[in-house]
Structure 1
């Protein structure tokens, strides 16, 4: 259920409790609900900044298209989970992936996986932010990737080609993404495409409105 539906549902309860025939009470209820909605929307920005060892990347999250994914990402972010993690998989002309390992290539423990929201209507185009996962469509936890080029083949097609859920887009710092994508990589601890010099996410924070 989206925010608007929730607020309208709450408004209905308020109006029924007060009596639909009383226009004054309804007007007051409308005003209270509008104010409540305004306060809640303002309390959470959907713009985040990744401060990396190679520069800053600003991303706007799309809660309407991927509400579960955005909520999950913000929960990890606000608890400081991403601070000190690295972009551990870098493939130029494809994507840069991070959000799961320390600079010692130690995997961080995560919460339970979330559902795949690849059907949200957003495309894996250059600069888009998407969730990484295993072959199981509903296996995404904390890891994400930024598309370095248009990767439409990663979009949802059907249940057999479930796609990768896009939930945001880089609004500032694509030059930083390009720089990260150009670093030298190697195989380390059995993992391919790992930057030789760690690309660290120093901090990941919500940008206040």
Structure 2
């Protein structure tokens, strides 16, 4: 029987040994690294969450301020005007949402006193009363033609009786004219923009409608707007 050398026995014993144990220091070190990484990830996540919340709150705050400013601006716009005429007062509700640009222009002119002393230069019974600059070329012929062909045109409920409107044609500030309908009128959608409605003083409108006029529908006696009062509520 062959004798095994001591060196060979030593090598065989080394091969049979299991894996070496991990030291306690190594375990603690790796644990600390994991804890630090988890803490860092949590801190980063919390930071971005808080930043997102702050940004969202800031955007909402800006939106609320803008809405409040817009609402405040809207609330500052008068909703009603009172036309004080030589026959009495006519209270008109303005269509701020339906015709905002025209209403803004109208209010601006009211504040500047544009309508103070404005005459009603055409009064057409069962049709309209018209106030403004009577020197505009073609105004008389245009409205005379309309009323003569009244029965030949279709009616539009958009232009009922006691509605306030102005022309759609481009005009300067001095050319802003007012029309108050006295009956459902022919379809004037191509001519008029309705931006208000008479809610009080219909009898005054009817009294103006009854004044004597010449063959061109011009009142024989001066009649017009004395001044205009603006109100937010009536």
The two structures have a TM-score, normalised by structure 1, of 0.68
Q: How does 1:13-162 map to 2 (within 5 A)?
A: 22-100=55-133, 123-132=158-167, 137-139=169-171, 141-155=175-189, 162=190
Contact 1:20 1:26 in 2 (8 A): no
RMSD: 2.6
Whether contact under 8 Å (1:65, 1:122) holds in the other structure is no
Alpha-carbon spacing, 1:32–1:176, altered in 2? closer, same or farther (3 Å): same
1:198 is matched with which residue? 222
Q: Distance in 1 between matches of 2:133 and 2:108?
A: 14
Question: CA contact under 8 A between 2:80 and 2:94: conserved in structure 1?
Answer: yes
* Alpha-carbon distance between aligned partners in 2 of 1:173 and 1:51, rounded to the nearest angstrom: 10
The 3 A distance-change label for structure 1 pair 54 and 176 is: same
Aligned to 1:166: 194
| Structure 2 counterpart SS, 1:194 | coil
Structure 1 window deviating more from structure 2 (22-31 vs 169-178): it is: 22-31
After superposition, give the CA deviation of every residue in 1:60-104 in whole Å (9 maximum; x if it has no partner): 121322222222222221100110111110011001000325xxx
CA distance in 2, matches of 1:55, 1:127: 15
Give the C-alpha shift of residue 126 in structure 1.
Answer: 0.7
Higher strand share: 1
Higher helix proportion (structure 1 or 2): 2
Change beyond 3 A, Cα 1:20–1:200: farther
User: Deviation of residue 58 (structure 1)?
Assistant: 0.9
Structure 1 residue 152, shift from structure 2 partner: 4.0
Cα contact 2:131–2:224 (8 A) shared by 1: no
CA distance in structure 1 between the aligned counterparts of 2:59 and 2:183, rounded to whole angstroms: 51
Query: Contact (CA 8 Å) 2:162, 2:182: kept in 1 or not?
Result: yes
Q: Which runs of 5+ in 1 are unaligned?
A: 1-17, 108-120, 156-161
CA distance in 2, matches of 1:177, 1:20: 59
Structure 2's unaligned 5+ residue stretches are: 1-50, 137-155
Query: 1:91, 1:193 within 8 Å by CA — same for their partners in 2?
Result: yes
Rounded Cα–Cα distance in structure 2 between residues aligned with 1:186 and 1:100: 18
Give the direction of change, closer, same or farther, for the CA distance of 1:82–1:30 in structure 2 (3 Å limit): same
